[in-house]
Every structure is written in C-alpha cells, then in structure tokens.
Structure 1
Amino acid sequence: MHSVFARRYAVLTRQFSSATCRWSNLIEFKQANIHRFGVKEPAFRNLSLTIADHERLVIVGPVSAGKSTLAEALAGKHLAQPLASAKWPMIDVSKSPYPSDHVHLVSFKEDSNAFSYSNHYYQERFNFSDPDNDVTLQDYLQSQSRDQQKIQQVAELLDIAPLLKLSFVKLSNGQTRRARIARALLRDPSMLILDEPLMGLDVDHRKRLLSILGELTTKSGVPVVLVLRPQDEFPSWATDVLELDNMAIAWQGKVDEYLARRQTIMEKELAERKAYLAQAREQDTSHRDPVVQLKNVNVIYSGNKILDNISWDVRQGEKWALLGPNGSGKTTLLSFLTGDHPQAYANELYLFGRRRGTGESIWEIKERVGLVSPEIHLYFNQSMTALEAAGTGFYDVVVPRTLTSEQTGVVQKLFNEFGINGLLSRKLNTMSTGEQRMVLLVRSLVCWRRC
C-alpha cells in the first residue's frame, strides 16, 4: 500500500530540477575546516568529500565520531573555511544562495517554529487534559504546508494519518520521528538528510521507512543521505558508505565492502552476547524480592485502552527488555515505574515493596530510579552544559540546580569512566544527539552512585 502513496508523493513533489541534473557532483568539500558557529577550533580539519549525483550515501560511526556534525555541514549549517573549500553545485542560486534552503536535514531535535517543548512538561503526555497551548499533529504539519490533500497523503505514507487530531506532545518517540519526516517531505527538499531516522521505530516501520525513502530517491530523483547507527539495517538502495571516527573519515567505499567488514564484527559481538546470556540464565532470581509489581494494570484515555490488564514482576538482579510496536504503550508502562503516571493511584502497583498511594512522595520513588529516554531528552534546555544536565539527576528535574562539591565529583567520575571528559563544560547545543544521550545516561546513574 505504501508504494502507491510513495508514487503519489513523487507526483506531488517537484522533480529534481534540470539545472541540478547538469551537475555530476551535488556537494564538494576540499580540504575544508568545518567550524561550529561560535566555536574557534574546527570540528573537522582538512575534510575532503564529494557526493556525486548517482550516489546514495550512508554515514556511520560510533558516538562522538562526528556524524551529526557532518550531516549539519552538508546541509550548510556550519561555517567552512576557506569559503571556497565547500561548494553545493546542486543548488539553484536564483531561488536561494543558501544550501540550507535546498538541503533539508531531519535531526529529530525539535527546531521548527511549530512546536516547542519549553511550553510543556514531561508528565503532561500522561494526563487527561490537553494544555491550553495545545498543538495537534495536524497543526504541526500545516505549519509547513496548507495543502490538505498533500498533508493527508504524506501522513498516510508514514502511517500517522490516524494521529492527525492528537496532541503533538502525546505522540510516542517513533510517532514523533515519523511526523518530523512527514514535515520534511512537505517542504519538497532538493536533498534529504536524515540523522539516525531508525532509532525509536519498531521493526515494521523501519522497513517501511527505508522502502519509502528508496522509492523517493529512485522515482522522484531526490538524493537521500542517511546517518545510521552501527546496529541499524542497511537500505538496499544505498550505494556508498562513509565511516567516521574521532571527527575524521576512517573509511570510505561501496556498501558491499562495508557490509563484509561489518559482518566480521557482528559475528564477534554475537558470540560475546551468547556467552553473557548463557551466564545470565544460570542465575536464579526467583527467590529475590520484587522491585516492581504490577497487578492487572489498566490505562484508559477517552475510552481507549492503552494498557489492558498488565501484570508484571521485576525482581532484584533481573534485566528486562520491553518490546513492542510504536504507540503500543511501552513508555506509558515505564511511567508507572518512574512515578510519573497519575493513573498509578487507580491501579495496584508496588514499587520497592510499597504500594503506590500509601503516603510515599513521588520524590521518594524518583530518587531511587534512574531514567534515560528519547522522550525526556526533548525537555532539556540546550543551553545547559553537560555538567549541569547530568547534575539534574540528583534532583530529578530538567533545569539546572547548584551542585555540591561532592555531587560534582560524582558526575566527573562517571564522565571519566565513560571516557567523555571532554564534554563536561560543553553545552548540549554543541553536541551530537549521541553525545547528548551519553550525558543523559550519566544523569540516570548519579542516583545509583549517590545511593
């Protein structure tokens, strides 16, 4: 079904212009020093990279390798020096001389004027009432296009049409990602760059998105560049791979060559994982006290059941993976464990041996639970430093608080253990998404260190 919608979308979008097709190269960097705005030292030094019009590039690499920074540079969001070292032969300067008006980057940070998480709070998504400043998914998409037919078709293409009337703040992580991609498609980009688009999507929607992007790039001629994590599926339509490490190009070549290299690494990791799981299975946790007990838990919004008679025990020493498609209720279920969901009081729920609603405060629960998630990530002020952001874990807030010398020492020690000392004084808005996630992982662990 989605291929039909993809073909309709290809008709709706303006085709890759004849002016573009005259060029064999779309983007050219030659010995370029890439500077983040406001930062004196270059993020990339002597970067040389050419993207040809027949290439469909995938960028890979570990956290802090420079993937997001390179994606932003390709979209013209960073300063290249000397100026002549970066060129975009693909753009039609008669329409706009700015690359960012032609190359659309979907980074999954909310950078539109249509919605701001600063006007909301994290627990709001679990409440019944809608906020006074509510923005629906329909509003969010209409901020980019007033063509209702096109909005409907793109929404159907990305499987978010049933959500159009829903408050944007209440979308799941995967639904929010698909909404941002939809908004990008409504912009009719000349090139589309997606930074880790598969994170947060369930298996079916990952396959669907890759298929949609394949049809977009082959049928409507829009070049697509993907930034992927090492564990992500590779699109069948990709032609080239660029591997980054430590803010430099570590390897560059064809997809088949890269997949052969990656297969060897994956086989080694799989053997290590099997050995770990075999050891874990030998541990008997049945005699240990439960940390979490949910008994026939139900959550209902406007007559719709989000959770239906869920019973679940988590005992000390157990390690769980919670799986399910986007919108299936995973985050809602976890919100019972973190004390964030108001319907916890209407259900039978025990945390750390005590039933909810028997006089304990929400802060007594939160000081014993570390949380890191894509959803809470969105609510952090990007002007905070890594030290400030990680330090909020001592108070379970998303705004900076004054830290004691002991608390600062705990954060610094954790940063050192994770090998990210260089991030301590940097602001979140100068980091990649992966680097920010590492900071928030430290935030989730400060309670454990303190306790």
Structure 2
Amino acid sequence: MSFKPTEHRAIFINNQSQCDQLIEDILNGLHIPAEFKYLKDLKGALFSKGALDDFIEEEEIHDQKWLTSNTEQSLKSMSSGERKKALLAYLLQSDPDYLILLNPFDNLDSESQIGLKERLIKLSKKKQILLFLSRKADLLPFISNFYFLKDKQLIPLHLVPEIENPSSYELTKPIPKPLERIPYEHSQIVQLKNVCVSYGSSQILDKVNWVIRPGEFWKLSGPNGSGKSTLLSMINGDNPKAYGQDINIFGYQKGKGESVWDLKKSMGYFTPAMIDRFKGYHSLENMIISGLFDSIGLYVKPGNVHQRLAKEWLELIGMDHKKDKYFHTLNLGEKHLIMCIRAMIKHPPLLILDEPTAGLDDKSAALVVALANKMAQESETAIIFVSHREEPLLKTQYEFQLSPAESGSLGVSIPHGTF
C-alpha cells in the first residue's frame, strides 16, 4: 500500500480532550471526522497504555500470553520499555495499514524513548501514523499536520501550540497546617544499608545505601528495569524481600515487630494506579478528608474542622468551587492534584509521589510539580518524587540515581542544591 508521508497526523490533547471515543470511531470506521476519512477502509492498530493494560489483565486472569509467548517472563514483571517493545512487535505482526499512538513515551526512560522514536521514524516510511500526545516534547519529527482536540471538537492547527508561561502555575496561598502533628523525633526517616534484592537468578539491587532525613526533597531516577519500584516497595512496607535486610524506617528496624500499618500511618503515597480504586460517588471534600483516615472513601461523618481543612487545600489549587463534585467526574490532571493532597493532608514524615505526572498534559504536569515544590518548601515532610521525565520546573534538593549493572543496580546520591 502506498501513501503520502504528509498524511501523518499529530493530535494534541489535554486532560479535557475526549480522545477515547474518537480513537474508537476511527478504528471501527464509524463517525470518522472528515480529516481522517482516508482511513475508513484501512486496518488500524492501537498502541497505548490502555491496550497494554488489557493484555496484562488477560495474562494475569486468563493466562493468555499474547505478547510474551516466546518468553517465560510475564508482562507484569517486565519494565515499561520492555512491555511497549513487546506490544509494538505484536501489533506489527498483523500488518496494519496505520498505527494510532496514544502518549507512546509515557513511563519510558530517556534511552527507551530514543529507541522507540527511532523505531517509529523507520515505521513512518511504511505505515501511516496518528499520534495523540499530551506533552509537546513527544512530537515526532516526521509529522507536519497538527490538530487540537478540544473536548470532542477537532481543530486544525498551522503551528505546534505554545505552552503557557510556567509562572502562571505558581500557587500563591500557603499550604494548610495539619490538624495535629505526627510525632517524629529521629534524625533519619529512611536508612538503607547494603540492601541487595534478587528474584530467581536476576539481581535487581546491589548494596544500595540511602539515607533520607526530615524535610528533604528527593527525586528517584533510573532507567526502566533499574529497580525503582522494588526500592520503593522496600520502603513502603509491601515487599517481603525487605525482611532480613538492614533497613530502618521511621526509627523501626525492618522485621523487628513493626507492622505495615505502623509504617503507613506515618507515610503518604500516591501513584496513578490508585485512582482506579475510587470508582464510587466520592465528593472532592470527602476524598481529601479520607486521607486523614487512610480509607478508600469516607465512612465517618466529617466535622467542621475536617471540612475547613479540606476547603483550605481546595482553595490552594483553585478548586474550592468544586468541593461537592464527584471525584470520578474530574479530568485526569485534577484527579492527580486531589490525590497528591489526599496523601499529604496529615503532613506525614514521608510522602512518596510515584510518577504523579504520568499521562498528564503540559499544564497539568506543571501544576502537580508546583504543588510538590510548595509542599516540600513549606513543610517538614520528606518527599520522594519519581519520574522518568525531566520535569524542568521540579526543584528537588537531591537525586537518588539507580544505575543498572551485571551484579544489580547501584545507587548514588546527587545533591541538586537547596530551596
């Protein structure tokens, strides 16, 4: 099949864009906008996180190894880069005429992004590409036709859209004080000494040493598969590999009698996967207050003091007028902001923000980063911020970098400066 390279399209989206329906219409050949009519009788394939999640679910629940039939490794155990490589290879086996790419570089480290970009540039000579992207930096160089999807409306663009001035994302109000201070008198929040982790014959971490003190702001970085998730699970109490290691959390020696819940009471945590747990009719006010009780939903009647605290947090991010709206009706950027606040509302000694900007558009990502910066600057909470992307507005003091090696990833602490 032949086609003109100029038929490649980029559709810029934000967290209000309703792209799922448009993608479904294009793939099904129904209600296709005039700009994409040329695809009507062609065969398409979707490269997206949602498509990948469906394959992971099939493998986990039904033991259907569509993407990993040639290996013993499961999709869930692969790094993000390995998963996306497997998905692309699987899609190309069916020889589609065109590929729809939805935020293809999300959750990928720099090296994996470069590798995928090179692969897509080669594919662009054989396949038509429709790229849906939230971040301007993800634009592929061979695309010269641009659109913006505003809600459901497709708007042609003559130029790549400009990103708003980052100064407009500043949060001017102070962060609210906690209702009561969580007592913590130790000089260290986290101390890991010579931590080693392996799974079968695979060595993941090799003699990792890391100390986090009260009020410090850290970025945790490293390529896909370097052990970032494993390291976080050693800290947040969910990994049995932590027992028998020299790990001290909140003054507790790991495995010496503390429970997971003892640790979690003093810890705030947000990763985008948590959002799926909140599918009920939770108001924003109740979502934030539920962080005080570590519950999925609010099952006690909030008092005036709780409602006042929630109002102060919503005022900080300019969403106090939405306090009675249901959480599930928010756009993705708003959900991430609310979940970050929910994790921080108690001012825990440690806050972990695991890929809090994943899937967000440029503006929403900048708002989440601005909130993280402000919480770090105006509290005594130690914060770990995990991101594969370089977020230029992030003002961390230190970086803990995992570097893969044959014996397992090594860790190094890098100072960035002070607030």
TM-score (norm 1): 0.59
Instruction: State how far apart, in whole Å, the 2-side matches of 1:181 and 1:390 are.
Output: 39
Residue identity matched to 2:67: L
For this pair of structures, how many residues does the alignment match? 330
Instruction: State how far apart, in whole Å, the 1-side matches of 2:200 and 2:259 are.
Output: 28
Residue identity matched to 1:370: G
1:210 aligns with 2:117: yes
1:15-414 to 2 correspondence within 5 Å?
15=1, 21=3, 54-60=6-12, 62=14, 64-66=15-17, 69-70=18-19, 72-76=21-25, 88-93=36-41, 102-109=43-50, 114-116=55-57, 135=63, 139-141=65-67, 164-218=71-125, 220-230=126-136, 232-243=137-148, 252-255=157-160, 258=161, 261=162, 289-374=187-272, 376-377=273-274, 380-381=276-277, 383-385=279-281, 387=283, 393-394=291-292, 400=297, 402-406=299-303, 414=313
TM-aligned CA distance change 1:84 to 1:227, over 3 Å: closer
Residue identity matched to 1:221: K
Instruction: State how far apart, in whole Å, the 2-side matches of 1:347 and 1:112 are.
Output: 33
Moved more, 326-335 or 436-445: 436-445
Q: Contact 1:410 / 1:449 at 8 angstroms: preserved in 2?
A: no
Q: Deviations over 1:222-245 (max 9, x none)?
A: 223131324x34322221343567
Task: Tell me the residue number matched to 1:44.
Answer: none
TM-aligned CA distance change 1:74 to 1:431, over 3 Å: farther
Cα distance, 1:368 vs. partner? Answer: 2.0
Cα distance, 1:448 vs. partner? Answer: 3.1
1:444 aligns with 2:343: yes
Residue identity matched to 2:49: F
Q: Contact 2:44 / 2:98 at 8 angstroms: preserved in 1?
A: yes
Question: SS of the residue aligned with 2:218?
Answer: coil
Residue identity matched to 1:58: A
Residue identity matched to 1:226: F
Residue identity matched to 2:66: Y
TM-aligned CA distance change 1:419 to 1:193, over 3 Å: farther
Question: SS of the residue aligned with 2:6?
Answer: coil
Question: SS of the residue aligned with 1:322?
Answer: strand
Residue identity matched to 1:73: L
Larger RCO: 1 or 2 (CA < 8 Å, sep 6+): 2
Cα distance, 1:305 vs. partner? Answer: 1.4
Q: Contact 1:72 / 1:78 at 8 angstroms: preserved in 2?
A: no
Instruction: State how far apart, in whole Å, the 1-side matches of 2:32 and 2:134 are.
Output: 29
Q: Deviations over 1:367-401 (max 9, x none)?
A: 22222225x348x247445648767655656x546
Instruction: State how far apart, in whole Å, the 2-side matches of 1:422 and 1:186 are.
Output: 47
Q: Contact 2:52 / 2:87 at 8 angstroms: preserved in 1?
A: no
Cα distance, 1:212 vs. partner? Answer: 1.0
Q: Deviations over 1:204-224 (max 9, x none)?
A: 110111111111112x13223
Aligned identity (percent) is: 23
Q: Contact 1:57 / 1:238 at 8 angstroms: preserved in 2?
A: yes
Q: CA RMSD in A?
A: 4.4
TM-score (norm 2): 0.63
Q: Contact 1:297 / 1:310 at 8 angstroms: preserved in 2?
A: yes
Q: Deviations over 1:251-273 (max 9, x none)?
A: 82235xx5xx55x958x89xx9x
Q: Contact 1:115 / 1:135 at 8 angstroms: preserved in 2?
A: no
TM-aligned CA distance change 1:445 to 1:214, over 3 Å: same
Instruction: State how far apart, in whole Å, the 1-side matches of 2:90 and 2:139 are.
Output: 23
Instruction: State how far apart, in whole Å, the 1-side matches of 2:149 and 2:327 are.
Output: 22
Residue identity matched to 1:344: A
Q: Deviations over 1:403-433 (max 9, x none)?
A: 53246775565455334565964564x6665
Which runs of 5 or more structure 2 residues have no equivalent in the other structure?
Answer: 171-184, 350-380, 382-419
Instruction: State how far apart, in whole Å, the 2-side matches of 1:228 and 1:107 are.
Output: 13
Cα distance, 1:318 vs. partner? Answer: 1.3
Q: Contact 2:19 / 2:149 at 8 angstroms: preserved in 1?
A: no
Q: Deviations over 1:173-215 (max 9, x none)?
A: 4444444444443444333222222121111110111111111
Cα distance, 1:134 vs. partner? Answer: 7.7
Cα distance, 1:312 vs. partner? Answer: 0.4
Instruction: State how far apart, in whole Å, the 2-side matches of 1:290 and 1:338 are.
Output: 15
